[in-house]
Amino acid sequence: MVLVDRFGRPVTNLRISVTEECNLSCFYCHREGQMKGKRQMTPQEIERIVKVASNLGIKKVKLTGGEPTIRSDIVEIVKRIRPYVVDLSMTTNGTVMHRLAEELRAAGLDRVNISLDTLDREKYKKITGFDVLPWVLKGIEKSVKLFKLVKLNMVVMRDLNHEEIWDMINYAAKIGAVLQLIEIEVPREMTESWFFKRYFYPLKPLEDEFSKKAVEIRERRMHRRKKYFIPTENGIAEVEVVRSMHNTVFCANCTRIRLTSDGYLKTCLLRRDDLVDILTPIRNGATDEELIEIFKQAIMLRRPYWI
């Protein structure tokens, strides 16, 4: 069984924020659209929710944060949810992957997305607040050897790193990772903010250039994101473009529901008014059937953000 929302969008993915905290402080961070919470789900509670979700056909799970690896029980979380999912991935800043990747792989993690906005140490420090680029690169190179897929997440910012895009494409091809180019995204009310005006770098023109250079273009079902296979000096680079701002096609093909680290189902990254508490019922002894109803209720609240 797969649940479909009122807009005909099947819900097949669950993005779980396991903590709102992070060991870096990127100035553009959206913290998965989460507000500061007073409680945190235990590994057992996360397992329970994933089990219920899998009964509803939601079998792709991504662990996010904040930074998921700062939880000391992250390996236990991976082990507990592994049996219920077909695709188990994590989005991480990569700062501790040089020492954690093996354990995570052994626990059953299939793949990782690692943030990497720049290959320049000074710029990295400026963006994230910490001088840890060499550790991140070590973690990336180790992850490429262990996981079946590694994606590098580059948030493209005007005048800060947009000139590095081709260097990043070459680097990704060299190490055998996929590069994800991510347009800055903000909720509607922030489109007039200084941050958005200063750093937004539209990726549409670049996609047009990729279309001409690519030897192959594929379209993912989710968000209808395009993947370009581009020849480089290091072989074929696989480049995926995440372009969500004012993108009605992206939202119309959104198959995700989110779970905040303090135990609320959340229907959309950019909405803050749509939380459905699932942790309180769990702590009050709800049955699986009651939790399934809570999921259904959240899924029925889902609306595309950009329409």
Ligand X SMILES: Nc1nc2c(ncn2[C@@H]2O[C@H](COP(=O)(O)OP(=O)(O)OP(=O)(O)O)[C@@H](O)[C@H]2O)c(=O)[nH]1
How far is residue 98's CA from residue 140's CA, in Å, rounded to a whole number? Answer: 7
Alpha carbon of residue 285 to chain centroid: 31
115 binds, among ligand X, ligand SF4, none (CB under 5 to 8 A by kind): ligand SF4
The answer to whether residue 182 forms part of the interface with ligand X (CB under 6 A) is: yes
Is 31 a known ligand-binding residue?
no
Q: Which two tokens stand for residue 227?
A: 């993947």
Q: Is 54 in the site for ligand SF4 (CB under 6 A)?
A: no
Nearest approach in angstroms of CB 15 to ligand X is 7
Q: Is 256 in the site for ligand X (CB under 6 A)?
A: yes
* Pick 12 or 40: Cβ nearer ligand X: 12
Please state, in angstroms and rounded to a whole number, the distance separating the CA atoms of residues 5 and 286: 24
Q: 170 touches which of ligand X, ligand SF4, none (CB within 5 to 8 A by kind)?
A: none
Told to check if 22 binds ligand SF4 by CB under 6 A, we report yes
Q: Which residues contact 224 (CB under 8 A, 6 or more apart)?
A: 249, 250, 252, 253
Dihedral of the CA atoms 140, 250, 20, 41 (nearest 10)?
A: -100
The distance of closest approach from Cβ of residue 218 to ligand X in the complex, given in angstroms and rounded to an integer, is 13
Which candidate, 306, 301, 258, 259, places its Cα nearest to that of 279? 259
Say which residue the tokens 């790193």 belong to. 161
Confirm or deny that 257 is annotated as ligand binding: yes
62 has binding-site annotation: yes
Q: Among 35-43, 134-142, 178-186, 279-287, which window interacts with ligand X (CB under 6 A)?
A: 178-186
Query: Tokens 């904040």 map to which residue?
Result: 66
58 binds ligand SF4 (CB under 6 A): no
**Residue 15 or 79 having the CB closest to ligand X:** 15
Distance of CA 181 to the CA centre of its chain: 12
304 lies in the site for ligand SF4, by CB under 6 A:
yes
By a kind-dependent CB cut-off of 5 to 8 A, residue 180 interacts, out of ligand SF4, ligand X, none, with ligand X
Residue ranges binding ligand SF4 (CB under 6 A) = 22, 24-26, 29, 65-67, 93, 115, 128, 223, 244, 250-251, 254, 256, 268-270, 304-305
